[in-house]
Chains A and B, each alone.
Chain A
Amino acid sequence: MNSTLRMYERSARVYRGVWRGSVFSSFVNPLLYLVAMGIFLGNLVDKQTGGIAGVSYLEFLAPGLLAATAMQAGAGDSSWPVLAGIKWQRYYLAALATPLSTRDLVMGHLAWVATRVALVSAIFVLVATALGAMTLTGGLLAIIPAVLTGLAFAGFVTWFAAKLEDGIGLTNLFRFGIMPLFLFSGTFFEISRLPDWMEPVAYLTPLWHGVELARSLALGVDPTFSRATHAGLLVAYIAVGTVLAVRQFEKRLVI
């Protein structure tokens, strides 16, 4: 535990130098999305349909967007920073010359990502509450699935980034992986609107489970499966991603 915290401490110190810009964009991003999509587009949707799943479009959108934002934060922090630690700045290599192990590096990194995702989610909830898109209690509860979603992606993306030689793979990951998930995992509309063959695909993605759970907790409604199932699957994704990431670090760095 103690040695895991060492890498966490490094990340926290690096973050101290950039926190202003980071916190600022964590405010602006949800504000833009919630105003443009939630309020303006939402007005149109509500006029046509009288709301979605029994609530206004803004209320429907906010928890889904929270989970999707958490995904992006978890994946983003585990992409270029991880490859930099291995290839460009080599801070993981420097750390491995000390008593730390690859497991310490990965666990410390993921612990830091959890903190970052929690911070980004908390700011999101503040903005959403101010806009009337979430109740404060519902929003705070929804931070839990948001952090699980961020970590589910963080583990896999860390594993993927640790396999790469350059950033092209990461650009493609975001373009062809993260972006489509952001759009089609129930964030902006229920996945029952998708063509039948796509629905099971959504079931496989961690984001959809995060969206379902966040929405269920924020609105106090039942999710598609049970809350325990969605949470359990997210935890399973985290566990698998973490194990893969540690194994890949060992394979890549201890040679």
Chain B
Amino acid sequence: MSDALVIANDLTKRFGDFTAVDAIDFEVKQGEAFGFLGPNGAGKSSTMRMIGSVSPITSGSLSVLGLNPATQGPQLRARLGVVPQEDSLDVELTVAENLMIYGRYFGLSRAVIRPRIEELLDFVQLNGKRDEKVDKLSGGMKRRLTIARSLINQPELLILDEPTTGLDPQARHVLWDRLYRLKQDGVTLIVTTHYMDEAEQLCDRLVVMDQARIVAEGTPSDLIVQHSTREVLEMRFPPGTQDENVAQLSGLAERIEILPDRVLLYTPNADATSSEAHARGIRPVAQVSRRSSLEDVFLKLTGRSLVE
């Protein structure tokens, strides 16, 4: 008996001739924060919608909370929380009314919902906005309200599809903090993102998706160790001179990635590599040495950047 909350085998989603999700396998365990990292169009949202049992699977198998989404959709959705990619709040209603109405969709009584509204508004720090129309909230507040809404039925599994896309850094940190607390309370999280820092911050384990397939799987640090070096040296050269400089770089690093605007040197020790380059007479206009990140993993695996 597996303790996995979500088990997918050969999971496939096709829209006509287009394959959005191509025979992927994964398991999400009880209590973990599991991430789907990938660029737009990689198939993350389609996967989320299948897990959320709002989109039928084309082939393969999928079990969520031990239930079959195809035949037990309503029972399954009763135990899930969903934060969709695009806001779907009732803008004509107030903050508290949004929570009340959503709780009623789950068939909860008003007496049960009322105290939960106060708790959740506390939790997402929107108590001051209780009777405000949703129209008037900022983007960050709307996202927080959407998260509060997704928790009204006290879900065992929370699915967040790009929860912080479009938010400013401060609003993102507030959200991450709330999601952390949920995880500590034992809620299992599934998060999609195309921000590598978000994946590193939030996820215990993640899969990297590209073009409908899973291309790597592991903890953020495992993925970095497996697919990248410890450090990265980034160099920028004056416009038009990148090619001639790149020619002189060979042998300096384990791997060199050439991007349109800069060159990445993958090396165990960025400072040592920088000195060697300097000794060869290479003079970048700017350079940064940093730790490898999931962005580098993604670049290595797919040859492309996550965020274009």
Q: What is the bound-complex CA distance between A56 and B288, given in angstroms?
A: 90
Q: What is the bound-complex CA distance between A18 and B91, given in angstroms?
A: 13
Q: Is B257 an interface residue (CB 8 A)?
A: no
Q: Is A25 an interface residue (CB 8 A)?
A: no
* CB closest chain-A residue, reference B94: A17
Q: Is B88 an interface residue (CB 8 A)?
A: yes
**Chain B residues near A3 (CB, 8 Å)?**
107
For B54, B56, B80, the residue with the greatest tally of chain A CB atoms inside 10 Å of its CB is B54
Q: How far is the CB of A149 from chain B (nearest CB, A)?
A: 27
Q: Is B64 an interface residue (CB 8 A)?
A: no
B 21-56 to A, binary, CB cutoff 8 A, 1 in contact else 0: 000000000000000000000000000000010111
**B-contacting 9-mer, from A58-66, A87-95, A115-123, A183-191:** A87-95
Q: Is B75 an interface residue (CB 8 A)?
A: yes
Q: Is A10 an interface residue (CB 8 A)?
A: yes
Which of B54, B92, B93, B101 meets A97, CB within 8 Å? Answer: B54
**Structural contact, B88 and A94, CB atoms closer than 8 A:** yes
Q: What is the bound-complex CA distance between A89 and B134, given in angstroms?
A: 12
Q: What is the bound-complex CA distance between A173 and B107, given in angstroms?
A: 36
**Structural contact, B86 and A90, CB atoms closer than 8 A:** yes
Q: Is B180 an interface residue (CB 8 A)?
A: no
Which of A6, A91, A97, A253 meets B90, CB within 8 Å? Answer: A91
Q: What is the bound-complex CA distance between A13 and B92, given in angstroms?
A: 9
Which of A9, A89, A91 meets B104, CB within 8 Å? Answer: A9
Q: What is the bound-complex CA distance between A90 and B84, given in angstroms?
A: 11
**Chain B residues near A13 (CB, 8 Å)?**
93, 97, 100-101
Q: Is A32 an interface residue (CB 8 A)?
A: no
Q: How far is the CB of A99 from chain B (nearest CB, A)?
A: 4
- Contacts between chains A and B (CB distance < 8 A), count: 71
**Structural contact, B92 and A6, CB atoms closer than 8 A:** no
Which of B74, B80, B101, B153 meets A10, CB within 8 Å? Answer: B101
**Structural contact, A98 and B106, CB atoms closer than 8 A:** yes
Q: What is the bound-complex CA distance between A232 and B91, given in angstroms?
A: 39
Q: How far is the CB of B157 from chain A (nearest CB, A)?
A: 12
**Structural contact, B91 and A95, CB atoms closer than 8 A:** no
**Chain B residues near A253 (CB, 8 Å)?**
54
Q: What is the bound-complex CA distance between A99 and B108, given in angstroms?
A: 11
A 82-124 to B, binary, CB cutoff 8 A, 1 in contact else 0: 0000000111011111111100000000000000000000000
Q: Is A254 an interface residue (CB 8 A)?
A: yes
**Structural contact, A96 and B93, CB atoms closer than 8 A:** no
* CB closest chain-A residue, reference B90: A91
Q: How far is the CB of B109 from chain A (nearest CB, A)?
A: 11
Q: How far is the CB of A11 from chain B (nearest CB, A)?
A: 10
Q: What is the bound-complex CA distance between A93 and B54, given in angstroms?
A: 9
- A6-B104 contact, Cβ under 8 Å, with A17-B92, A97-B54: yes
Q: What is the bound-complex CA distance between A3 and B88, given in angstroms?
A: 20
**Structural contact, A98 and B105, CB atoms closer than 8 A:** yes
**Structural contact, A2 and B93, CB atoms closer than 8 A:** no
Q: List 13 A-B contacts (CB under 8 A).
A: A13-B101, A14-B90, A14-B92, A91-B88, A93-B54, A93-B88, A94-B149, A98-B77, A98-B78, A101-B74, A253-B54, A254-B55, A255-B55
Q: A10-B90, A97-B80 provided; 20 other pairs, C-beta below 8 A?
A: A3-B107, A6-B104, A6-B107, A9-B101, A13-B93, A13-B97, A89-B88, A89-B89, A90-B86, A94-B84, A95-B105, A97-B54, A98-B102, A98-B106, A99-B73, A99-B77, A99-B78, A99-B105, A100-B74, A101-B74
Q: 5 closest pairs, A vs B, by CB?
A: A94-B88, A90-B88, A98-B105, A99-B74, A97-B82
